[in-house]
Amino acid sequence: MNIMDFNVKKLAADAGTFLSRAVQFTEEKLGQAEKTELDAHLENLLSKAECTKLWTEKIMKQTEVLLQPNPNARIEEFVYEKLDRKAPSRMNNPELLGQYMIDAGNEFGPGTAYGNALIKCGETQKRIGTADRELIQTSAINFLTPLRNFIEGDYKTITKERKLLQNKRLDLDAAKTRLKKAKVAEARAASEQEVRITQSEFDRQAEITRLLLEGISSTHAHHLRCLNDFVEAQMTYYAQCYQYMLDLQKQLGSFPSTFLSNNNQSSSTPVQSVSAPSVLASASASLPSASNSVVTSGISELKSSSGSRKARVLYDYDAANSSELSLLADEVITVYSIPGMDSDWLMGERGNQKGKVPITYLELLN
């Protein structure tokens, strides 16, 4: 017998087996044939596997949405992953916001209160963006990948073996049906032999499937460890964000209680006072107008007189050039005005050092 004859016979046998299974399956659905039921333990294992697969997929997909809310970005990452290529590096949302704030702060001027605050906020946003990247990377490795491996690996194997078990059951039931219909002794003997063979194959496949399904408990234990890793990654991320914002709040809290105009306007022009802690607590909170007039009048008096005053430095300032004086938060310096000086600046002295200092960084002392 040549190879072609063998292939033809094999195809014919496969077609006959497929037809026999199809007839058996149809008759079972119509209630015209008996069906061998799986034992209760195996049924429970199958149900547990299906339930695990269903909820693993849902948790995995929603975790991906949580870590990357942008659907287009998720699709792009999926395509690059399938192509086995690294996705191009792009700024995430906190990093992009941080860069905008820093650029705006530099445009308005780092020496102005608003410009300096924008730069500090922008730097904090970029640090949060970096922490966000670390959370995504850690969660992908320690949580999403094991869940995906189960769906694409273990469960596919279970599905394959379960399908084989279904086919073996159909073969067994079809053989039992032919045994019932056999009239001649010779035909009955052949059918009985077929039932014994198909029963043995069904039992063996049921045992293989059962062993695979019992591994679901180990899968749950592994996924529990992965869940702990995910929670730890989130805890680290939120702790970092909290610390970053706490540090930022302290920095903004050291800003002057009255923000003068960033433009070169006369210091005698009243401006609304807003404290940094109040800004963080409520966008509408502001200091009483009475405090504005006190601070503004104090500066006006100093500028109109030839005397000097003590002033407390509210936050650090780096001199832009040799005509300015660098400042450290909470130090006390002597300030005074000289004729023709810019309205937003005073002269400051610290020992033998002197130079221009921005008014918005100072609090005049009585």
**Residue-level pLDDT at 287:** 35
Query: Is 27's pLDDT higher than 70?
Result: yes
In 254-345, where does DSSP find H-type helix?
A: 276-281, 289-304
What string of DSSP letters covers 158-202?
HHHHHHHHHHHHHHHHHHHHHHHH--SHHHHHHHHHHHHHHHHHH
**Residue-level pLDDT at 68:** 87
Rounded CA gap, 283 and 152, in Å?
Answer: 50
**Residue-level pLDDT at 134:** 94
Q: And the tokens for 22?
A: 């199809």
Lowest mean per-residue pLDDT among 33-37, 129-133, 196-200, 241-245: 33-37
* pLDDT tens profile 39-52: 999 999 999 999 99
Which of 127, 125, 74, 75 has its CA nearest to residue 100?
A: 125
Which of 346, 28, 326 has its CA nearest to residue 177?
A: 28
> Dihedrals φ, ψ of 363, to 5°?
-130, 115
Query: Is 26's pLDDT higher than 90?
Result: no
* pLDDT tens profile 313-356: 888 888 888 899 999 988 999 998 888 888 788 899 998 999 99
CB atoms within 10 A of CB 248: 20
Report the percentage of the chain scoring pLDDT > 90.
Answer: 50
* pLDDT tens profile 61-102: 999 999 988 777 766 666 666 666 676 778 899 999 999 999
Average pLDDT, the chain: 82
Rounded CA gap, 259 and 143, in Å?
Answer: 48
**Residue-level pLDDT at 12:** 61
Which of 345, 341, 343, 315 has its CA nearest to residue 330?
A: 315
Which whole number is the average pLDDT over 221-234?
96
* pLDDT tens profile 9-21: 656 666 667 777 7
Do residues 244 and 128 touch, judged by C-beta distance below 8 A?
Answer: yes
Rounded CA gap, 312 and 336, in Å?
Answer: 13
Higher pLDDT, residue 74 or 232: 232
> Dihedrals φ, ψ of 313, to 5°?
-80, 125
Higher pLDDT, residue 173 or 272: 173
- How many CA atoms lie less than 13 Å away from 22 in the CB half-sphere? 6
Which whole number is the average pLDDT over 199-204?
95
Which whole number is the average pLDDT over 112-131?
94
In 140-154, where does DSSP find H-type helix?
A: 145-149
Do residues 336 and 362 touch, judged by C-beta distance below 8 A?
Answer: no
**Residue-level pLDDT at 181:** 86
Which whole number is the average pLDDT over 185-192?
89
* pLDDT tens profile 238-285: 999 999 999 998 888 766 544 444 444 434 344 344 343 443 344 333
Query: Is 288's pLDDT higher than 60?
Result: no
Query: Is 214's pLDDT higher than 70?
Result: yes
Rounded CA gap, 128 and 248, in Å?
Answer: 12
Which of 176, 149, 167 has its CA nearest to residue 209?
A: 167
Report the percentage of the chain scoring pLDDT > 70.
Answer: 77
Do residues 226 and 142 touch, judged by C-beta distance below 8 A?
Answer: yes
Q: And the tokens for 160?
A: 């394959």
Residues in the chain: 366
End-to-end CA distance of the chain: 114
Higher pLDDT, residue 32 or 165: 165
Query: Is 211's pLDDT higher than 70?
Result: yes
Do residues 25 and 170 touch, judged by C-beta distance below 8 A?
Answer: yes
